Amino acid sequence: MEKIRVFCPASVANVSCGFDVLGFCLKEVGDEIIIRKSKQKGVKIISVEGHRLPSDPRKNVAGIAINSFLNKYPSNFGFEIEIIKRIKPGSGIGSSAASSAGAVFGVNKILGDPATKDDLIKFAMEGEKFVSGKAIPDNVSPLIYGGFTLTRSIDPIDVIKLPIPNELVAVIIHPQIEIKTLHSREVLKENVPMELAIKQSANLAGMVSGLYKNDYDLISKCLVDEIVEPHRSSLIPEFYKLKDVANKAGALGCGISGSGPSVFALTKGNEIAKRVADEMKKVFKNHDIGIQCYISKINPNGIKIIPSK
């Protein structure tokens, strides 16, 4: 294979009770990456379309992740990549993860699939570490495994792919401000009171059970974040108003997507999703901050190969 084009979906991490461990990927929103073999060894980013990002492979997460891949699986040729960026960087819906994971997925395919899924997560995490200061896999795991994932451990990598209830739909509201993951980590507390840790682990266990049992009421009860949301919500314009209108419009729950500023709501079915999206959009009517809104089913496949144009 000389060339590959891949779709790299947006994703929601830190799903309420699942800070740093629970994530899912979207169907409707994503970047594309085109990767070509080249005679010259190493990685060259030949273009980035859509948003301003570094073309130096040591500063772009796609280059960092591929170099990490090539350290374990060296190749006697190199790679040229084109990034078509549709997920705004710093949006909280996994813009950097789409590039890190998409890049290593594509290179692995060109080389005949030598790496395992868990290897790919590890290489992509190097890109995430560069931008957020910490190697966290909760956005890259659902991109590599597809669907909803629980990252139980990062050393060694242990990812559990969870079932997706059929009618589960995500609504994303992205207020057009940028929050860097690095900055939103700084507002977190070092220690967690025992009482909150117990509530959070009970909700996480309930959430996983709810996904397995197709139990929307249980999912709804468990979409609660006792630990991170109280601190990060102040970074997100109108957060509690968004949550209030989403819940009143029938959402199962609503929380901060990744490290924000995007906010997600989960719903049972498309009709409720549309209503929730309309109510959330109204919060920003006549506001000086613009928004983007997406409604998407959960993407069971993650990153996928698409036909080259």
Comparison of 68 and 95: residue with beta carbon closer to ligand ADP: 95
> 126, 181, 229, 279: which one is catalytic?
181
Closest to 236 measured CA to CA, from 139, 96, 29, 92: 92
DSSP state of 14: E
Cis peptide before 261 (omega within 30 of 0): yes
Question: Least distance in Å: CB of 208 to ligand ADP?
Answer: 24
Residue 282 amino acid letter: K
CB 17 within 8 A of CB 150: no
Query: Active-site residue 128, yes or no?
Result: yes
| Concatenated DSSP letters of 152-191 | EEETTEEEEEEP--TTEEEEEEEES----HHHHHHTS-S-
Q: Residue 184 Cβ, how far from ligand ADP at the closest point, in Å?
A: 8
Tell me which residues touch ligand ADP (CB under 6 A).
Answer: 53-54, 60-62, 83, 89-92, 94-97, 99, 131-132, 180-181, 258
- Catalytic one among 32, 126, 128, 229? 128
Nearer to ligand ADP, 179 or 218 (CB): 179
Shortest Å distance, C-beta 67 to ligand ADP: 13
State the CB neighbour count (10 A cutoff) for residue 285: 7
Q: Is there a catalytic annotation at residue 151?
A: no
Minimum gap (Å) between residue 4 Cβ and ligand ADP: 17
For residue 183, the one-letter residue type is H
Nearer to ligand ADP by Cβ, of 53 and 173: the residue is 53
- DSSP for residue 2: -
Please list the active-site residues. 128, 181
